[in-house]
Copies of this chain bind each other. A is one copy, B any other.
Protein backbone atom coordinates (compact mmCIF):
# COMPACT_ATOMS: atom_id res chain seq x y z
CA UNK A 1 0.00 0.00 0.00
CA UNK A 2 1.45 3.33 -1.04
CA UNK A 3 0.27 6.90 -1.10
CA UNK A 4 -2.70 7.74 -3.32
CA UNK A 5 -4.17 4.32 -2.77
CA UNK A 6 -7.31 4.14 -0.66
CA UNK A 7 -6.76 2.30 2.58
CA UNK A 8 -9.79 0.94 4.44
CA UNK A 9 -10.38 -0.30 7.93
CA UNK A 10 -13.22 -1.89 9.83
CA UNK A 11 -13.82 -1.39 13.54
CA UNK A 12 -15.18 -4.32 15.52
CA UNK A 13 -16.52 -3.46 18.96
CA UNK A 14 -16.90 -6.59 21.08
CA UNK A 15 -19.08 -6.37 24.15
CA UNK A 16 -22.53 -7.08 25.52
CA UNK A 17 -22.44 -3.81 27.47
CA UNK A 18 -22.71 -1.76 24.27
CA UNK A 19 -25.56 -3.92 22.90
CA UNK A 20 -27.51 -3.63 26.15
CA UNK A 21 -27.27 0.16 26.04
CA UNK A 22 -25.50 0.23 29.39
CA UNK A 23 -22.31 1.69 27.96
CA UNK A 24 -22.10 4.31 25.22
CA UNK A 25 -19.37 3.42 22.75
CA UNK A 26 -16.84 6.19 22.30
CA UNK A 27 -14.02 4.04 20.92
CA UNK A 28 -15.45 4.20 17.40
CA UNK A 29 -15.10 7.96 17.35
CA UNK A 30 -11.58 7.83 18.86
CA UNK A 31 -10.39 5.19 16.41
CA UNK A 32 -12.08 6.76 13.39
CA UNK A 33 -10.64 10.22 14.07
CA UNK A 34 -7.17 8.78 14.52
CA UNK A 35 -7.42 6.53 11.44
CA UNK A 36 -8.60 9.41 9.26
CA UNK A 37 -5.64 11.48 10.40
CA UNK A 38 -3.25 8.82 9.11
CA UNK A 39 -5.08 8.28 5.82
CA UNK A 40 -7.20 5.27 6.68
CA UNK A 41 -10.91 5.45 5.95
CA UNK A 42 -13.32 3.54 8.16
CA UNK A 43 -15.53 1.50 5.86
CA UNK A 44 -17.72 -0.12 8.49
CA UNK A 45 -18.24 -0.57 12.21
CA UNK A 46 -19.84 -3.59 13.83
CA UNK A 47 -20.81 -4.13 17.44
CA UNK A 48 -21.21 -7.78 18.40
CA UNK A 49 -21.74 -9.72 21.63
CA UNK A 50 -19.17 -11.72 23.62
CA UNK A 51 -19.99 -14.88 21.65
CA UNK A 52 -17.10 -16.87 20.22
CA UNK A 53 -18.68 -18.00 16.95
CA UNK A 54 -19.88 -14.49 16.21
CA UNK A 55 -16.42 -13.03 16.86
CA UNK A 56 -14.67 -15.68 14.73
CA UNK A 57 -17.07 -15.37 11.78
CA UNK A 58 -17.22 -11.57 11.81
CA UNK A 59 -13.47 -11.21 12.12
CA UNK A 60 -12.79 -13.65 9.28
CA UNK A 61 -15.11 -11.67 7.04
CA UNK A 62 -13.88 -8.20 7.98
CA UNK A 63 -10.17 -9.05 7.76
CA UNK A 64 -10.62 -10.20 4.18
CA UNK A 65 -12.72 -7.22 3.12
CA UNK A 66 -10.53 -4.52 4.70
CA UNK A 67 -6.89 -3.51 4.80
CA UNK A 68 -7.06 -3.33 8.58
CA UNK A 69 -9.37 -4.41 11.38
CA UNK A 70 -9.32 -2.84 14.83
CA UNK A 71 -11.10 -4.65 17.64
CA UNK A 72 -12.00 -3.11 20.96
CA UNK A 73 -12.97 -5.00 24.08
CA UNK A 74 -12.73 -8.48 25.57
CA UNK A 75 -9.01 -8.66 26.38
CA UNK A 76 -9.23 -8.27 30.17
CA UNK A 77 -8.94 -10.94 32.88
CA UNK A 78 -12.58 -12.03 33.34
CA UNK A 79 -14.68 -14.89 31.97
CA UNK A 80 -16.39 -12.63 29.41
CA UNK A 81 -13.04 -11.61 27.91
CA UNK A 82 -12.83 -14.03 25.01
CA UNK A 83 -11.36 -11.92 22.24
CA UNK A 84 -7.82 -13.35 22.32
CA UNK A 85 -9.03 -16.95 22.22
CA UNK A 86 -11.54 -16.13 19.47
CA UNK A 87 -8.91 -14.36 17.36
CA UNK A 88 -6.67 -17.42 17.73
CA UNK A 89 -9.47 -19.60 16.41
CA UNK A 90 -10.24 -17.21 13.56
CA UNK A 91 -6.63 -17.45 12.36
CA UNK A 92 -6.26 -21.16 13.20
CA UNK A 93 -3.42 -20.30 15.59
CA UNK A 94 -2.52 -21.78 18.97
CA UNK A 95 -3.82 -19.82 21.99
CA UNK A 96 -0.84 -19.68 24.32
CA UNK A 97 1.18 -17.66 26.82
CA UNK A 98 3.00 -14.79 25.13
CA UNK A 99 6.39 -14.74 26.86
CA UNK A 100 7.06 -11.07 26.19
CA UNK A 101 3.67 -10.07 27.62
CA UNK A 102 4.32 -12.31 30.63
CA UNK A 103 7.61 -10.50 31.32
CA UNK A 104 5.97 -7.09 30.96
CA UNK A 105 3.21 -7.86 33.44
CA UNK A 106 5.52 -9.70 35.84
CA UNK A 107 7.61 -6.51 36.02
CA UNK A 108 4.54 -4.24 36.09
CA UNK A 109 2.94 -5.76 39.20
CA UNK A 110 4.27 -5.90 42.74
CA UNK A 111 5.69 -9.30 43.77
CA UNK A 112 2.80 -11.71 44.40
CA UNK A 113 0.25 -9.54 42.60
CA UNK A 114 0.61 -11.18 39.19
CA UNK A 115 -2.09 -13.70 40.02
CA UNK A 116 -3.97 -16.26 37.94
CA UNK A 117 -6.64 -13.73 36.90
CA UNK A 118 -4.03 -11.32 35.59
CA UNK A 119 -2.07 -14.09 33.90
CA UNK A 120 -5.07 -14.68 31.64
CA UNK A 121 -4.18 -11.39 29.94
CA UNK A 122 -0.94 -12.81 28.54
CA UNK A 123 -2.69 -15.63 26.67
CA UNK A 124 -2.72 -14.68 22.99
CA UNK A 125 -2.57 -16.14 19.49
CA UNK A 126 0.91 -17.63 18.91
CA UNK A 127 3.47 -15.17 17.54
CA UNK A 128 1.16 -12.19 18.12
CA UNK A 129 2.98 -8.86 18.09
CA UNK A 130 2.34 -6.83 21.21
CA UNK A 131 0.70 -3.41 21.31
CA UNK A 132 2.17 -1.65 24.33
CA UNK A 133 -0.09 -0.20 27.00
CA UNK A 134 1.37 2.83 28.76
CA UNK A 135 -1.64 3.16 31.07
CA UNK A 136 -2.26 -0.15 32.77
CA UNK A 137 0.42 -2.59 31.67
CA UNK A 138 -1.53 -5.32 29.88
CA UNK A 139 -0.66 -5.14 26.19
CA UNK A 140 -2.95 -5.52 23.21
CA UNK A 141 -1.83 -7.60 20.25
CA UNK A 142 -1.64 -7.70 16.49
CA UNK A 143 -1.94 -10.67 14.13
CA UNK A 144 -1.51 -9.92 10.42
CA UNK A 145 -3.90 -7.02 9.67
CA UNK A 146 -5.90 -7.35 12.90
CA UNK A 147 -5.17 -5.10 15.89
CA UNK A 148 -6.79 -5.96 19.22
CA UNK A 149 -7.25 -3.19 21.75
CA UNK A 150 -9.00 -2.99 25.12
CA UNK A 151 -12.49 -1.62 25.65
CA UNK A 152 -11.71 0.98 28.34
CA UNK A 153 -11.64 4.25 26.33
CA UNK A 154 -8.78 5.98 28.16
CA UNK A 155 -6.54 2.92 27.86
CA UNK A 156 -7.37 2.36 24.19
CA UNK A 157 -6.59 6.01 23.46
CA UNK A 158 -3.20 5.79 25.16
CA UNK A 159 -2.18 2.81 23.00
CA UNK A 160 -2.71 4.41 19.58
CA UNK A 161 0.50 6.44 19.58
CA UNK A 162 2.57 3.26 19.68
CA UNK A 163 0.71 1.82 16.71
CA UNK A 164 1.28 4.56 14.19
CA UNK A 165 4.38 3.02 12.60
CA UNK A 166 2.59 -0.24 11.94
CA UNK A 167 -0.24 1.25 9.89
CA UNK A 168 0.42 2.30 6.33
CA UNK A 169 -2.22 4.82 5.35
CA UNK A 170 -2.99 6.56 2.08
CA UNK A 171 -3.18 10.31 1.77
CA UNK A 172 -4.72 11.76 4.93
CA UNK A 173 -8.40 12.51 4.46
CA UNK A 174 -8.79 16.26 4.83
CA UNK A 175 -11.98 18.03 5.76
CA UNK A 176 -13.39 21.51 5.94
CA UNK A 177 -16.56 22.54 7.74
CA UNK A 178 -18.81 25.51 6.99
CA UNK A 179 -21.52 26.14 9.56
CA UNK A 180 -24.55 28.07 8.42
CA UNK A 181 -27.47 29.71 10.18
CA UNK A 182 -30.11 27.96 8.10
CA UNK A 183 -32.08 24.73 7.88
CA UNK A 184 -31.20 21.83 5.62
CA UNK A 185 -34.21 22.19 3.34
CA UNK A 186 -33.20 25.77 2.41
CA UNK A 187 -29.87 24.65 1.03
CA UNK A 188 -30.58 21.07 -0.08
CA UNK A 189 -30.91 21.83 -3.80
CA UNK A 190 -27.82 24.03 -3.99
CA UNK A 191 -25.72 21.50 -2.13
CA UNK A 192 -26.99 18.71 -4.38
CA UNK A 193 -25.90 20.69 -7.45
CA UNK A 194 -22.48 21.37 -5.97
CA UNK A 195 -22.06 17.68 -5.04
CA UNK A 196 -22.98 16.73 -8.63
CA UNK A 197 -20.32 19.11 -9.97
CA UNK A 198 -17.71 17.89 -7.48
CA UNK A 199 -17.97 14.12 -7.56
CA UNK A 200 -14.53 13.54 -6.06
CA UNK A 201 -15.29 15.27 -2.80
CA UNK A 202 -17.74 13.97 -0.24
CA UNK A 203 -20.16 16.61 1.01
CA UNK A 204 -22.10 15.92 4.19
CA UNK A 205 -24.89 18.01 5.64
CA UNK A 206 -25.49 17.88 9.39
CA UNK A 207 -28.09 19.89 11.28
CA UNK A 208 -27.00 21.05 14.72
CA UNK A 209 -28.79 22.27 17.83
CA UNK A 210 -26.03 23.31 20.16
CA UNK A 211 -25.66 25.88 22.94
CA UNK A 212 -28.79 27.71 21.82
CA UNK A 213 -27.66 27.81 18.20
CA UNK A 214 -29.49 26.08 15.40
CA UNK A 215 -27.95 25.55 12.00
CA UNK A 216 -26.38 23.21 9.49
CA UNK A 217 -22.75 22.18 9.19
CA UNK A 218 -21.58 21.38 5.69
CA UNK A 219 -18.54 19.09 5.78
CA UNK A 220 -16.36 18.72 2.67
CA UNK A 221 -14.00 15.74 2.70
CA UNK A 222 -11.29 14.73 0.24
CA UNK A 223 -7.62 13.73 0.08
CA UNK A 224 -7.04 16.79 -2.14
CA UNK A 225 -6.99 20.22 -0.49
CA UNK A 226 -7.45 22.07 -3.79
CA UNK A 227 -10.67 20.16 -4.48
CA UNK A 228 -11.92 21.06 -1.03
CA UNK A 229 -11.02 24.72 -1.59
CA UNK A 230 -12.77 24.76 -4.94
CA UNK A 231 -15.92 23.23 -3.50
CA UNK A 232 -15.74 25.58 -0.51
CA UNK A 233 -15.71 28.62 -2.84
CA UNK A 234 -18.78 27.36 -4.67
CA UNK A 235 -20.61 26.91 -1.39
CA UNK A 236 -19.63 30.35 -0.10
CA UNK A 237 -20.86 31.83 -3.38
CA UNK A 238 -24.41 30.51 -3.10
CA UNK A 239 -24.42 31.24 0.61
CA UNK A 240 -23.66 34.89 -0.20
CA UNK A 241 -26.28 34.97 -2.96
CA UNK A 242 -28.93 33.57 -0.63
CA UNK A 243 -27.82 35.88 2.19
CA UNK A 244 -27.28 33.00 4.60
CA UNK A 245 -25.13 33.79 7.62
CA UNK A 246 -21.93 31.80 8.22
CA UNK A 247 -21.58 31.05 11.93
CA UNK A 248 -19.12 29.50 14.36
CA UNK A 249 -20.05 26.23 15.94
Contact = CB atoms under 8 A, between A and B. Distances in A.
Interface of A: 13, 16-26, 28-36, 41-50, 76-80, 115-118, 120-121, 152, 154, 173, 175, 184-189, 191-192, 195, 202-207, 209, 219, 221
A98 to B, nearest CB: 17
Contacts of A186: 115, 117
B47 A117 contact: no
A192 B80 CA distance: 8
Contacts of A78: 184, 187-188, 191-192, 205
B42 A48 contact: no
Contact of A44 (B31, B32, B46): B46
A17 B206 contact: yes
Contacts of A79: 188, 191-192, 195, 203, 205
Nearest to A41: B19
A27 B240 CA distance: 35
Contacts of A118: 185
Contacts of A21: 28-36, 42
Contacts of A47: 28, 44-46
Contacts of A23: 29, 206
Contacts of A115: 185-186
Q: Which of A36, A76, A78 has the most CB of B within 10 A?
A: A78
Given A117-B185, A117-B186, 19 more contacts: A16-B221, A19-B32, A19-B45, A20-B36, A20-B175, A20-B219, A21-B33, A22-B33, A22-B175, A44-B49, A45-B47, A46-B46, A76-B207, A77-B184, A77-B185, A77-B188, A80-B204, A80-B205, A152-B207
Nearest to A114: B185
A50 to B, nearest CB: 8
Contacts of A22: 33, 175, 206, 219
Nearest to A207: B152
A202 B22 CA distance: 14
A45 B78 CA distance: 24
A70 to B, nearest CB: 12
Closest 3 CB pairs of A and B: A21-B32, A21-B33, A117-B185
